[in-house]
Amino acid sequence: MIQFNNVKKTFRRTEVLKGLNLNITTGDRIALVGSNGAGKTTMIRCLLGEYTFDGEVLVNGHNPRLERQIVLKDIGFVPQLPPPLKMPVGQLIHFSASLCGSDPQEMIHVAERLGLDFEQLKSRPFVKLSGGQKQKLLISIALGRAAKILILDEPAANLDPDARHIFFQLLAEKKDEAVMLISSHRLDEVASLVNRVIEMDQGLVILDDRVEDEVDLDSVLKTVITIKRVDEAFAKAIKLWKFKTDTADSDTAGLVWHGTVAGPDRLRFLGVLSRYAAILKDIHMEERKNA
Amino acid sequence: MKHLWLTAWADIIESLRAKWFIVYSGVFGGIVVLLFVFGITESRIMGFTGLTRLLITYIQLTIAILPVFVLITTVRSVAGDREAGVFEYLLSLPISLSAWFWGRFLGRFIVVFLPVFLAMIGAVIWTAIKGADIPWVLFASYTGLLLAVAWCFLGIGMLISTLARSSDVAQGLAFVVWLTLLLFLDLILLGIMIREGLPSETAVAISLINPLQVFRTAAMVLFDPQLVILGPSAYIILDNFSEAGYILWAIAYPVLLGTFCASIGYYLFKKGDLP
């Protein structure tokens, strides 16, 4: 579906991509990881036909630079940094939908599933939205159309746990029909979403590995955490994941916490818990589908 | 074509919400208001009064500020958009590069021309309310000249925005271009060069290719058809062009120059890295 054949990209004297070779097929959900300057963004921009380069990039046999509209019609892209667009949210949706030949209602529907109140936001300039709202809207534009390739640059970084869960559900709905390329600085942020990991360094692929993808993108983990003593920092952190404690019960208040974690978020959640390992007494996680 | 108009409309909406546009509109609207407040329409100079007098003054002020305003705002916003990631995102949508570039050009043209034009329309309406005569031929000619000069400097601005990768460099370059054209006006460097023995053909050629000078001379032709104000050099213009011919040149040449610059800008944009 996507081929990078000996792709080289140089900015003045700095070679950012040094002969990239990659083959991506339908069903691949790829974590594109690597430190700053590894070449992830440059690779994405070559794929989007935004950069000139030496070598060849083909998307279903089409050159993204020369056949932009054919290629980009199938690509949904969420950038890491939302662009500072001043146009109102409603116009951005209609503008994007018109260019993509999509139904704006589909995008609005995705936005509402992610928790955005479209009616309230449609007249507001995009640039005035919060970081999370911008991210949700860009995800809505990317997922609310018939994209066969999803390129997501740190897509869930600004999302709250509920929105992350919906986002994972949306990805689950597309996982058999689309290629996903999810860029991140940290593998643990995206590990559970993918079935293939590509690590880049200094413009080259240094790791290309298949990973277990038994994690159901659509699942949730019903979770109970018990800690040894009441801890203010822990309470603050766990509340961000929408966990609750029974304040009416003086024996367990602040000690036993109940909540749910989106299946693909488990590694990230455990990463948070690891900071409080010293006070953890018991962790119980039970996987449930479509909660 | 649909994508071109979509892009143009998006650019218009973006611009209408930008601070530069508020300042830009305020300046041109403000000039007309100030000209009324200071009683320019009631004063008389070289036999001109009423709306004719106001338009003459307005066009002279426009020569000074319109080109630099168009250049600076175009390069700042276009190059700024590229730096801020607007290009990266919007060009990931399935739009052709020609629809994107020319759509932005068209949208931006409407945005820079409309406030200047609407200010003149405001003056016409006010004059009509007051019951004074409206010099329609002069009004149409000035509209044509303003349209041409806005188009020309927008084209130059789009070229600079493509050449410069950062808004700071683009702004600097735009300022240098404007300053160079300004220096070669008859009032400044050209006058000195003629005094120092520059062949008259060269001086005329420079005058005819400098869009600022072309605009300035055409504005003079409209209120001083014999170009008495220019002295002997008026013969070259009137003998070679005639009054109507020069106005035609003053409209056609800047439009062609702007289109040429924008076309080079588009070629470079299409061939290079987009964001």
> A104 pLDDT exceeds 90?
yes
More reliable by pLDDT, B29 or B5: B5
CB A259, CB A209: distance < 8 Å: no
- A3-41 per-position pLDDT tens digit: 999 999 999 888 999 999 999 998 899 999 888 888 999
- Kindly state whether A65 is in contact with chain B, defined as any CB-CB distance less than 8 angstroms: no
Which of these three, A210, A241, A271, is where a domain ends? A210
Phi, psi of B110 (to 5 degrees): -60, -40
Substitution target in A41, A51, A68 with the highest count of B β-carbons within 10 Å is A68
In chain A, residues 32-51 whose CB comes closer than 8 Å to chain B = 45, 48, 50-51
Its domain, for residue A251, covers 219-289
Range of the domain at B142: 2-271
CB pair distance less than 8 Å for B86 and A99: no
Same domain, A206 and A235: no
Which B-chain residues 11-50 have CB contacts (< 8 A) with chain A? 13-14, 17-18
pLDDT at A22: 92
Flag the least confident range among A87-101, A248-262, B43-57: B43-57
Instruction: Answer whether A123 touches B (CB < 8 Å).
Output: no
pLDDT higher than 90, residue B102: yes
| Most distant pair of Cα atoms in chain A: their distance | 68
Domain co-membership, A100 together with A131: yes
Q: Do B97 and A68 touch (CB under 8 A)?
A: yes
Q: pLDDT band for position A262 (50/70/90)?
A: confident
3-state DSSP of chain B? CHHHHHHHHHHHHHHHCCHHHHHHHHHHHHHHHHHHHCCCCCCCECCECHHHHHHHHHHHHHHHHHHHHHHHHHHHHHHHHHHHCHHHHHCCCCCCHHHHHHHHHHHHHHHHHHHHHHHHHHHHHHHHHHCCCCCHHHHHHHHHHHHHHHHHHHHHHHHHHHHCCCHHHHHHHHHHHHHHHHHCCCCCHHHHHHHCCCCHHHHHHHHHHCHHHHHHHHHHHHHCCCCHHHCCHHHHHHHHCCHHHHHHHHHHHHHHHHHHHHHHHHHHHHHCCCC
CB proximity A167 to B under 8 Å: no
Task: Report pLDDT for A264.
Answer: 80
Nearest-Å Rg of the Cα atoms of chain A is 21
Residue A136: which H helix or E strand, with range? helix A131-143
Does one domain contain both A121 and A260? no
Same domain, A76 and A154: yes
pLDDT at B35: 74
Same domain? For A132 and A198 the reply is yes
* Residue A199 reports pLDDT greater than 70: yes
Q: Is B95 on the interface with A (CB under 8 A)?
A: yes
Does the ipTM surpass 0.90? no
Count up the domains in chain B and report the number.
Answer: 1
Does residue A223 share a domain with residue A140? no
- Band (B43; pLDDT cuts 50, 70, 90): low
Domain of A133: which CATH number?
3.40.50.300
State whether B95 and A68 contact (CB < 8 Å): yes
Q: What would the two tokens of residue A284 be?
A: 């119980």
Domain identity same for A206 and A248: no
Mutate to test the interface with A, among B89, B90, B101, B162 (most CBs of A within 10 A): B89
Q: What is the pLDDT of residue B37?
A: 67
Residue in B3, B92, B272 closest to A48 by CB: B92
pLDDT tens per residue across span B195-218: 777 777 777 788 888 998 888 888
Nearest CA in chain A to B17: A86
Domain shared by A148 and A282, yes or no: no
Query: At residue A216, does pLDDT exceed 80?
Result: no
- According to the model, what pLDDT value does residue A192 have? 74
Rounded Cα gap, residues A262 and A166, in angstroms: 9
With an 8 Å Cβ cutoff, are A83 and B88 in contact?
Answer: yes
Boundary of a domain, candidates A210, A230, A247: A210
Instruction: Using DSSP, state whether A204 is helix, strand or coil.
Output: strand
Q: Counting every residue, how long is chain B?
A: 275
Q: Please enumerate in sequence order all residues whose Cβ is within 8 A of that of A205, keeping only pairs 6 or more positions apart, or say none.
A: A20, A21, A22, A198, A199
A241 and A98, same structural domain? no
Question: Which site among B88, B91, B104, B167 would you substitute to test the A interface, given the most A Cβ atoms closer than 10 Å to its Cβ?
Answer: B88
Q: Are residues A60 and A193 in the same domain?
A: yes
Tell me if B93 and A87 make a contact (CB, 8 A cut-off).
no
Decide: B59 and A54 in contact? Cβ < 8 Å: no
Instruction: Flag whether pLDDT at A70 surpasses 90.
Output: yes
Given CA atoms A193, A199, A205, A211 in this order, what sign does their dihedral have? negative
C-alpha angle B58-B64-B67 in degrees, rounded to nearest 5:
105
A153 pLDDT band (50/70/90 cuts)?
Answer: confident
pLDDT at A166: 86
User: In this predicted structure, what is the pLDDT of residue A34?
Assistant: 87
Whether the per-residue pLDDT at A132 is higher than 70: the answer is yes
Same domain, A55 and A159: yes
Structure confidence at residue A127 as a pLDDT band (50, 70, 90): very high
pTM > 0.90: no
Taking residues A228-254, what's their average pLDDT?
89
Number of domains in chain A: 2
pLDDT mean over A221-245: 91
Facing B273 at nearest CB: one of A51, A85, A99: A51
| Closest chain A C-alpha to B151 CA, distance in angstroms | 24
Q: Which of A50, A88, A95 sits opposite B275 (nearest CB)?
A: A50
- CATH number at A259 reads 3.30.70.1150
| pLDDT tens per residue across span B128-158 | 887 777 788 888 888 899 899 999 999 999 9
Residues A89 and A121 in one domain: yes
